[in-house]
């Protein structure tokens, strides 16, 4: 049933993606590395980043192996194997992004000595390696596990509903493993980068009055290393687990329709759409170039994004026509997803770009001090949730209603509606490869600017890297909004997958289960479980932000000590001790990421087991369902607040600097606001993207423990 030639596109696209990523890596590595001074700085960044990543992955590997063995023994060995594979490929995605980033930064800096267009091509294609590799590895991993499990390793006869169902539910471990590794990678990277950034800003900019990337700042190398471990390794693992979890969740929802129609296209559709999206991204990435040296680089990126969207939309149409019995309603659902991604990008841009009201409001508030800056920033962060939630809600309801219109019977309306939301999620994620390329482009340009300044290159070179760095800051903010919107849609479809798993375990028809089962918040125990879900989001956020604060305190003390004990540093006659600052960020991140990383695994499993033995199976399922729903809602809102509020604070500072007000009290107040926003937008916010999906995949894997 899976021998249709169209399905060959899935592995072929994945292999083409990996080959293309390899070609781009070769293309980048053969470019020159600039002057000896530039190379010395780049080498320090690369060595610090790779050393941190090796230590972080050793920690992740230990926890992953322990949890994988527990799953294999307590649940099923195939689920345990899938978990370990998911964790491995998630980590590999982060490693690839990091490796290319720390080699592309020096080449971008060198290219900027010649032309803006060459610098843009080098930095963006460096980011594209990560985007392409992440999507290709996710696609090949999910497809391989599904094909191998359904054809060879499950007990049911190949080609039957039971074989496909068993393969997908056992394969959920892959998404769980990816989420588990991604949470540690995002948390650890976020703590590292912001501890260094806060220390470098507060002591260097405010107290010493030196520029951001001044080589006299002892924390500057740690800061540049942090850009890579947070935005490249962390976000690469984040979007890898996003695509894996959403593919598997959508395939599980398609199973219910396959059981009614007998058409395997309903659960193969997510894989084919992901393959088509990858191919569209390859074309869009290669179209990014400037029309002339004076053109705004953001226009070139936008052109590439729109090319990706148009090709993805055309291929999405083909997938719906060929696989979903020609039910074009689901094409419209996919277009809703693509439209949502564009709307979320513009909402994020409005709240974080310097030319609009929110950032100007924070900048104006800085005139009266840090306190009013912080008040304005918090209010803007809270305000951002409104427009984003309206957009997400409109997309969810619109795609759900469209899906219900072609349900064959009234009892199937809910299932077809859920599948409509899955199609919207797939539509939104068709551009994932291009979006991730934009995200990784940010730290590459940031590092390039630092290398140029620290190696004292001519002013025109710094002007070019500054232009790219400003665009990179915008793209990083936009991709966080995109990731959060995708997480919100994905979490909803994973709810459906969880309840389908429960129905499967209880031997019920999914249609009967949906008609007869409800999560009753009027039950005190269910209401309490919902509150625990919201509380977990707040506690997790507190631990993440606190970890940055503690590590930053140590960094600030070290930078102050070096300035005090070695006055030759500020005089420019003595070289700072960069290594000690790198070590402070490394130790702080590795130690602090463990508790918030383990907490989201322990709490839902403990809650489900407690409710099962205290109140019975039905109450356990309702309790875990309520926990999931409210934790997701709280997580989405909190992440929007953190990401957009932090981005607005950052660009308010840049807005003030662009007006030539560095060194003024207004600028000092904006730096304080920026440092408050740093752990919001780069540690807690992005980690919540992973958290909301991790909770869903955990409950899918451990659902069998909640049923008597």
pLDDT in tens, 457-492: 888 888 888 888 878 877 877 777 787 787 788 777
Per residue in 37-73, pLDDT (tens digit) is 888 888 888 888 888 788 888 888 999 999 999 999 9
Q: Give the model's pLDDT for residue 212.
A: 65
Average pLDDT value for residue range 296-304: 89
Q: Give the model's pLDDT for residue 708.
A: 65
For helices 578-592 and 524-565, the axis angle rounded to 10 degrees is 170
- Greater confidence, 534 or 568? 534
Question: How far is 78 from 72, CA to CA, in rounded Å?
Answer: 7
Average pLDDT value for residue range 418-427: 92
| Share of residues in the chain with pLDDT > 90 (%) | 38
Number of folded domains in the chain? 1
Q: Which of 78-82, 183-187, 475-479, 593-597 has the highest average model confidence (pLDDT)? A: 78-82
- 353-385 in b/e form (b: 16+ CB < 10 A) is bbeeebbebbbbbbeeebebbbebbbebbebbb
On the question of pLDDT at 1 being above 70, the answer is no
Residue 599 buriedness (CB in 10 A; 0-12 / 13-18 / 19+): middle
Question: How far is 649 from 653, CA to CA, in rounded Å?
Answer: 7
Question: How far is 269 from 422, CA to CA, in rounded Å?
Answer: 10
Write out the two tokens for 428.
Answer: 């939104």
Q: Give the model's pLDDT for residue 626.
A: 93
Q: Give the model's pLDDT for residue 77.
A: 92
Residue (of 625, 646, 442) closest to 541 by Cα position: 646
pLDDT band at 354 (very low <50, low <70, confident <90, very high): confident
On the question of pLDDT at 199 being above 80, the answer is no
Pick the range with the lowest mean pLDDT from 69-83, 422-436, 570-584: 570-584
pLDDT band at 244 (very low <50, low <70, confident <90, very high): confident
Per residue in 659-686, pLDDT (tens digit) is 888 889 999 899 889 888 988 988 898 8
pLDDT band at 381 (very low <50, low <70, confident <90, very high): very high
Per residue in 102-127, pLDDT (tens digit) is 889 899 999 999 999 999 999 999 98
Residue (of 240, 376, 336) closest to 655 by Cα position: 376
The parent domain of residue 288 ranges over 5-706
Per residue in 213-230, pLDDT (tens digit) is 677 888 877 877 777 777
Question: How far is 537 from 605, CA to CA, in rounded Å?
Answer: 16
Q: Give the model's pLDDT for residue 538.
A: 96
CB–CB of 467/297 below 8 Å?
yes
CB–CB of 132/24 below 8 Å?
yes
Per residue in 316-349, pLDDT (tens digit) is 999 999 999 889 999 999 999 989 988 988 898 8
Residue (of 266, 244, 282) closest to 319 by Cα position: 266
CB–CB of 493/418 below 8 Å?
yes
- 545-569 in b/e form (b: 16+ CB < 10 A) is bebbeebbebbbebbbebbeebeeb
């Amino acid at each position: 049933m899976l021998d249709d030639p169209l399905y060959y596109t899935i592995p072929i696209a994945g292999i083409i993606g990996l080959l293309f990523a390899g070609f781009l890596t070769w293309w980048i590595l053969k470019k020159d590395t600039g002057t000896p001074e530039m190379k010395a700085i780049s080498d320090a960044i690369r060595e610090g980043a790779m050393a941190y990543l090796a230590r972080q992955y050793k920690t992740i590997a230990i926890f992953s192996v322990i949890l994988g063995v527990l799953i294999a023994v307590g649940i099923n060995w195939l689920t345990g194997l899938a978990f370990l594979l998911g964790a491995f490929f998630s980590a590999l995605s982060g490693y690839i992004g990091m490796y290319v980033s720390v080699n592309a930064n020096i080449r971008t800096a060198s290219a900027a000595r010649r032309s803006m267009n060459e610098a843009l091509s080098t930095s963006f294609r460096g980011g594209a390696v990560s985007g392409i590799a992440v999507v290709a590895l996710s696609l090949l991993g999910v497809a391989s596990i599904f094909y191998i499990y359904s054809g060879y390793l499950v007990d049911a006869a190949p080609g039957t509903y039971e074989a496909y169902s068993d393969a997908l539910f056992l394969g959920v471990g892959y998404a769980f493993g990816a989420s588990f590794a991604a949470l540690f990678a995002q948390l650890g990277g976020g703590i590292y980068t912001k501890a260094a950034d806060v220390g470098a800003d507060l002591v260097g900019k405010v107290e010493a009055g030196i520029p951001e990337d001044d080589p006299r700042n002892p924390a500057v190398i740690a800061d540049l290393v942090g850009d890579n471990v947070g935005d490249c390794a962390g976000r690469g693992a984040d979007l890898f687990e996003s695509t894996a979890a959403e593919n598997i969740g959508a395939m599980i929802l398609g199973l219910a329709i396959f059981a009614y129609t007998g058409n395997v296209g309903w659960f193969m559709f997510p894989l084919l759409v992901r393959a088509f999206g990858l191919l569209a991204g390859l074309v869009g990435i290669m179209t990014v170039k400037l029309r002339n040296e004076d053109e705004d680089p953001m226009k070139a990126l936008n052109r590439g994004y729109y090319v990706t969207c148009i090709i993805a939309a055309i291929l999405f149409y083909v997938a719906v026509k060929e696989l979903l019995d020609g039910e074009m309603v689901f094409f419209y659902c996919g277009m809703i997803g693509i439209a949502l991604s564009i709307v979320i990008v513009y909402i994020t841009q409005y709240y974080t770009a310097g030319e609009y009201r929110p950032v100007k409001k924070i900048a104006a508030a800085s005139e009266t001090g840090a306190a009013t800056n912080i008040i304005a920033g918090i209010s803007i962060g809270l305000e951002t949730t409104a427009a984003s939630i309206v957009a997400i809600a409109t997309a969810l309801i619109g795609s759900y209603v469209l899906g219900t219109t072609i349900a064959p019977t009234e009892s199937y309306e809910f299932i077809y509606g859920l599948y409509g939301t899955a199609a919207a999620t797939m539509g939104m994620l068709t551009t994932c490869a291009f979006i991730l390329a934009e995200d990784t482009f940010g730290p590459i340009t940031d590092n390039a600017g630092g290398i140029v300044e620290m190696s004292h290159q001519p002013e025109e070179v710094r002007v070019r890297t500054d232009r790219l760095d400003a665009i990179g800051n915008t793209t990083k903010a936009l991709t966080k909004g995109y990731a959060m919107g995708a997480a919100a849609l994905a979490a909803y479809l994973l709810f459906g997958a969880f309840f389908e798993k429960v129905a499967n375990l209880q031997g019920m028809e999914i249609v009967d289960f949906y008609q007869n089962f409800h999560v009753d918040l009027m039950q005190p125990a269910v209401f309490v479980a919902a509150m625990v879900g919201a509380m977990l989001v707040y506690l997790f956020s507190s631990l993440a932000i606190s970890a940055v604060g503690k590590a930053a305190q140590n960094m600030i003390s070290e930078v102050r000590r070096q300035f005090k004990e070695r006055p030759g540093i500020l005089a420019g006659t003595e070289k700072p001790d960069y290594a000690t600052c790198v070590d402070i960020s490394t130790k702080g991140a590795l130690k602090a990421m463990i508790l918030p990383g383990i907490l989201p695994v322990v709490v839902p499993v403990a809650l489900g087991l407690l409710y099962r033995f205290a109140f019975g199976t039905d109450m356990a399922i309702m309790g875990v369902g309520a926990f999931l729903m409210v934790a997701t809602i709280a997580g989405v809102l909190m992440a929007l607040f953190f990401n957009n509020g932090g981005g607005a604070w950052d660009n308010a500072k840049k807005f003030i600097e662009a007006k030539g007000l560095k060194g003024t009290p207004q600028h000092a107040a904006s730096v304080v606001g920026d440092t408050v926003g740093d752990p919001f937008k780069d540690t807690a916010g992005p980690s919540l993207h992973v958290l909301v999906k991790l909770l869903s995949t955990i409950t899918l894997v451990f659902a069998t423990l909640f049923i008597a």
